[in-house]
Structure 1
Amino acid sequence: MFKFGFAKTITDINEEDKTDELEWIPAFKLEITPEQVGVKYGTDYYTETKVFPDFNLKLIRSDKVVKDLTKHNCQNIIEAETQHSDLIPAKYEGGLKIWECTFDLGQYILEEQIELKDKLVMDLGCGAGLIGLIALLKNSTVHFQDYNAEVLKSMTIPNVLLNCDNRTNIFTKCEFYAGDWASLATLLDDEENRKYDYIFTSETIYNPDNHKKLYEIFKRKLKINGLGFIAGKIYYFGVGGGMRQFEDLVLKDGYFDVKMVWRSQDGVNREILKLTRKQHQEHGLLGI
């Protein structure tokens, strides 16, 4: 049975929320420095693995990252490690671990031969950045987003650098955003109001309290003909979120058509949903 490693039960968290509102980190853009681009990684610091067919990726070892972040007194990570927790709401959102549905989504993208060349892609809740790496290696421009800046700095960005033949491409082909989804759409509006051909996200629907924030990113930041893909489990034991809850939210709003394009019943049921803007919405936007 899949279950998130929460330090407290969901009941405890709900009780705390009633008296002490969670303070989510506002979204911000993370700038890459030449010093970061020039870092050399020893072979003991990463593993080389064929995560997907024809994709031999170099990936930073999470145990090394945790050790470094602990050494540098990163409190969010120290608290999660101390409590043996994969998630601490509004503090640490599990980005140092590659979750199961990420592999489902990556495999689906490759098997369906989704056209990524010269597209603008958002890897939302990216963690290690595997989905964004696929897009990048298929000649997309990719924006990586994760809640924790520490994850982006210590895992996502190193993974991008390890898998790029020309490291300087990171300045023109990649952008990195940290913080909460509630303020992300507004921040992206300020960044030339760019919209995406594809928004991919995996294992981000575990907390039903964040469903609306997540959905708003798709609604506000996909191009008229853009597509959204959400990979996740039918239900997240111990947390309360799941695919049907998120799907119901989208369907009630009436802005997107929702189609289940992939499903596995091996172990905990997993799905991939595709969001396509409804035709009348397209015409409405074209008329603005």
Structure 2
Amino acid sequence: MFKFDFDLDLDSDDEMSSPPPPPSASTSTAQPEPEQAPVPAQPFQEILLKDLISHLPAEISYSPLPLPAPLSPLARRDLFDARFQRMGVDLPEGGEAQDQADEDEEAWGPETDLVKGVYEGGLKTWECAVDLVGVLSREVVKEQGWRAVEGKSVMEVGCGTSIPTLYLLSVLLSKPPPGPSDPLPPPTSFYLLDYNKLVLQLVTLPNILLTFRHLFPTPPDSPSPVPTNLPPISEDEDLSHVPVFHPSDLLSSLPLPSSTLSSFLSLLSERNIHLSFFSGSWSSFNLPPSPGGKMDLILTSETVYQSLNLKPLTTLLRESSYPTRKGWMGEQGEDGTLVLVAAKVLYFGLEGGGVEGFLEVVRKEGSEREGGEGGWTEEVWRSGKGVGRWVGRVGWERG
């Protein structure tokens, strides 16, 4: 069981503190628990949208999440509300099953950020997800708007609260609705991957519904549920000082009657948007083939925190990508996959995690095959304030 010593997540119950100094030879900023027998990895499985909808509560509490200027905030389910719903999940009782249930309850509690093989931190929103939204806004969406998203296959790996996907959905849904005689738009597919099925139930789908309701309030002339006058954050701001909005400041809730869910499903059909959800270990992922068998855009943030994650992650990224030349940014007439990765430069207390370890694995990934060659890397953005943060592109010219 492990908790990051830097308290930079965007769901803290208090004002976020400054990051700690780097560890020295005599001190350590994090003390992981003694090694225990490894927990078997969760198997890969697809979770149907209708299954996730069946687990939604009658109402969800939410707060606005500020985004880099000039973007408007996103609505995001409150962490306390997700954990409260988690407490109501049926758990086994008696003997070993009860012991496992007790361990799971502790793993999902407020004092825990990571329990390897049990819970991988997906309930919280981490600051690199916000960094990734900033890069998407400047590098992908700025020139093309909704056209940068429509008709694409998009995968978010380790999605958790799915902030980058929420942003892209809001961009896509900003397109004027089709008229009665207009043809169906080209299909846009979102593949959302998280280790924990419960994360998909508790925050991923609820946040997507909040984005839908933000853009399409009922009745149509009612105000948006997300205030638009919140202060945006600057491109390179140290997010440890960004104010956190809690229910005590802006108490908001969204009822989820069947009419809201029906409207949501109708909108997806009208816009030809497909949502697919998957849980389990990256090493066992076997995604259904998208058109061409590959993705157009792959996003991941805060997923390189442990060395054990790096090889399965990079293999998944490579196998889901078209062959892509270095420097390709989606030019027409040329296939490729834009893979954007956001991470902290270093994860204190976790051996082998961070940007440099990840980039080393990318450069080797694929080279072990006959005639294969490793991947390429390219820095897009970096912040040296607080705990260093980085966003970069990776790819493989031979796939």
Same fold by TM (over 0.5)? yes
Matches for 1:44-123 after TM superposition, within 5 Å: 45-52=61-68, 53-73=70-90, 75=101, 78-82=105-109, 84-114=111-141, 115-123=148-156
Contact map agreement 2:197 2:279 (CA 8 A) in 1: yes
More helix by share: 1
Contact map agreement 1:215 1:250 (CA 8 A) in 2: yes
Question: Does the alignment pair 1:36 with 2:53?
Answer: yes
Aligned to 1:176: 277
| Partner-residue secondary structure (3-state), 1:12 | coil
Percent identity among equivalent residues? 28
Q: Structure 1: which amino acid aligns with 2:115? A: I
Residues 276 and 173 of structure 1, relative CA distance in 2, 3 Å threshold = same
Higher relative contact order (CA 8 A, sep 6+): 2
Residues 129 and 111 of structure 1, relative CA distance in 2, 3 Å threshold = same
| Partner-residue secondary structure (3-state), 2:322 | strand
Q: TM-score, normalized by length of structure 2?
A: 0.61
Unaligned runs of 5+ in 2: 8-29, 92-100, 142-147, 173-187, 217-262, 324-335, 366-372
| Partner-residue secondary structure (3-state), 2:67 | strand
Q: Structure 2: which amino acid aligns with 1:266? A: K
Separation (CA, whole Å) in 2 of partners of 1:49 and 1:129: 12
Separation (CA, whole Å) in 1 of partners of 2:349 and 2:150: 39
Q: CA deviation at 1:67?
A: 1.1
Report Cα offsets for 1:141-193 as digits up to 9, x if no partner: 21111111001011101111221245114574211111110011xx2156787
Q: Structure 1: which amino acid aligns with 2:377? A: V
Question: Does the alignment pair 1:12 with 2:1?
Answer: no
| Partner-residue secondary structure (3-state), 2:287 | helix
Aligned to 2:298: 199
Aligned to 2:43: 26
Separation (CA, whole Å) in 2 of partners of 1:218 and 1:117: 21
More strand by share: 1
Separation (CA, whole Å) in 2 of partners of 1:64 and 1:83: 12
Q: CA deviation at 1:210?
A: 1.2
Separation (CA, whole Å) in 2 of partners of 1:149 and 1:92: 10
Aligned to 2:189: 141
Separation (CA, whole Å) in 2 of partners of 1:58 and 1:83: 21
* Equivalences, count: 269
Residues 192 and 12 of structure 1, relative CA distance in 2, 3 Å threshold = farther
Q: Structure 2: which amino acid aligns with 1:32? A: L
Q: Structure 2: which amino acid aligns with 1:69? A: R
Q: CA deviation at 1:51?
A: 3.3
Separation (CA, whole Å) in 1 of partners of 2:202 and 2:79: 9
Residues 24 and 138 of structure 1, relative CA distance in 2, 3 Å threshold = same
Q: Structure 2: which amino acid aligns with 1:131? A: P
Q: Identify which range, 87-96 or 220-229, moves more after superposition.
A: 220-229
Aligned to 2:314: 215
Aligned to 2:233: none
Separation (CA, whole Å) in 2 of partners of 1:64 and 1:197: 34
Structure with larger Rg: 2
Report Cα offsets for 1:252-283 as digits up to 9, x if no partner: 234321001110000011111201322xx26x
Aligned to 2:201: 153
Residues 98 and 121 of structure 1, relative CA distance in 2, 3 Å threshold = same
What is the alpha-carbon root mean square deviation over aligned residues? Answer: 2.7
